[in-house]
């Protein structure tokens, strides 16, 4: 993913601190905070009163949240941070001429509530009595290109001089909230698939995909497993998880191929067929588009036998 454009921010911001220097841009329904650290630091504490979407722009942080293990926070990654939870942060690489930069986007609870209510009314979830939720009880990652693009667009809106910026920001915030909830739905599905498959038709279909990823899967077959018509299954799947069933199948096949490349000595041809592809050239094309390199080069980078 490309880095965010902070050119207008850099031109106008004031550096008053060398550790977590904060610049805030406030609109009607959101506040964008950009933090910059210019020297190595450890055990820096930070707390937000509302849930925030934190995204790394440049450099590296080591994050400590609640009782979870520490993790490296790198450019291109975003994480939802709960409200009123203190983060402890290390900055192992920050330098004056190479600062660590991170943004934190806080969205007004009323804006989130209105979007959740609208979704539950117009696009209710399948077999889920709780409905859409934007919870802040735990943190979760996303490195999706769509979310990255929306954040980039918000940076542009927040830092430009335009009297209609509140209007523009509200449109982007609506899409961002929905995509974040879809991302959370996929994370919940991944972590609780066996349990959900017993009570949710879409989860049952997803488990069927994972159990039969080596086969030639069709939308009609998956819709039958979910006891739904093809159009309704396609619509509900895309609505709930933010990707089409075909996109999800391809994602799972690529993830399996990566796992096999890194952990086995199977030939690339064998991996191709094990992941449900029946054409090696097509597999090579799809893999390179998704990962950015060929399977052979990926294996050479990551695997040492």
- What is the C-alpha separation between 161 and 155, in angstroms, rounded? 12
pLDDT of residue 123: 85
Q: Determine whether domain 7-130+141-190 maps to CATH 2.10.10.90.
A: no
Measured in whole angstroms, how far is the alpha carbon of residue 292 from the centre of its chain? 18
Rounded to the nearest integer, the mean pLDDT of the chain is 89
Q: Confidence band (pLDDT; 50, 70, 90) for 133?
A: confident
Kindly report, residue by residue over 227-272, the tens digit of the pLDDT: 999 999 999 999 989 899 999 999 999 999 999 999 888 999 999 9
- Please, are residues 57 and 133 in contact by the beta-carbon 8 Å criterion? no
Q: List pLDDT tens digits, range 163-196.
A: 999 999 999 999 999 988 888 888 777 778 888 8
Quick one: pLDDT band at residue 136, thresholds 50, 70, 90? low
Architecture field, domain 247-302 = Orthogonal Bundle (1.10)
pLDDT of amino acid 305: 45
Which residue bears the tokens 């939802």? Answer: 80
Same fold? 7-130+141-190, 247-302: no
Where do the domains of the chain lie?
7-130+141-190, 192-242, 247-302
Averaged pLDDT, 192-204: 86
- Please provide residue 278's backbone torsions phi and psi, each rounded to the nearest 5 degrees: -110, 10
Asked if 56 contacts 3 with a C-beta cutoff of 8 angstroms, the reply is no
State pTM to two decimals.
0.82
CB contact at 8 A, 219 and 225: no
């Amino acid at each position: 993913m490309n880095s965010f454009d902070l050119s207008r921010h850099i031109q106008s911001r004031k550096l008053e601190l060398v550790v977590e220097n904060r610049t805030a841009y406030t609109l009607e329904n959101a506040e964008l905070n950009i933090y910059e650290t210019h020297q190595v630091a450890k055990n820096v504490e930070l707390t937000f009163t509302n849930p925030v979407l934190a995204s790394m722009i440049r450099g590296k942080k080591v994050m400590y949240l609640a009782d979870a293990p520490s993790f490296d926070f790198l450019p291109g990654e975003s994480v939802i941070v709960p409200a009123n939870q203190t983060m402890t942060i290390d900055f192992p690489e920050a330098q004056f001429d190479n600062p660590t930069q991170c943004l934190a986007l806080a969205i007004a609870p009323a804006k989130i509530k209105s979007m959740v209510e609208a979704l539950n009314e117009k696009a209710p979830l399948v077999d889920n009595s709780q409905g859409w939720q934007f919870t802040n009880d735990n943190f979760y990652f996303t490195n999706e290109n769509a979310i990255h693009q929306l954040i980039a667009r918000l940076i542009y809106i927040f830092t430009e001089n335009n009297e209609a910026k509140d209007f523009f920001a509200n449109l982007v915030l609506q899409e961002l909230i929905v995509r974040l909830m879809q991302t959370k739905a996929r994370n919940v599905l991944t972590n609780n698939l066996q349990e959900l498959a017993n009570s949710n038709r879409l989860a049952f279909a997803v488990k069927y995909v994972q159990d039969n990823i080596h086969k030639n899967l069709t939308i009609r077959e998956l819709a039958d497993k979910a006891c739904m018509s093809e159009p309704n299954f396609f619509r509900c799947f895309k609505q709930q998880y933010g990707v089409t069933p075909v996109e999800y199948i391809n994602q799972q096949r690529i993830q399996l191929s990566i796992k096999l490349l890194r952990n086995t000595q199977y030939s690339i041809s064998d991996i191709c067929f094990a992941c449900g592809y029946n054409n090696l050239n097509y597999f090579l094309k799809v893999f390179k588009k998704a990962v950015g390199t060929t399977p052979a080069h990926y294996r050479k980078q990551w695997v040492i036998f």
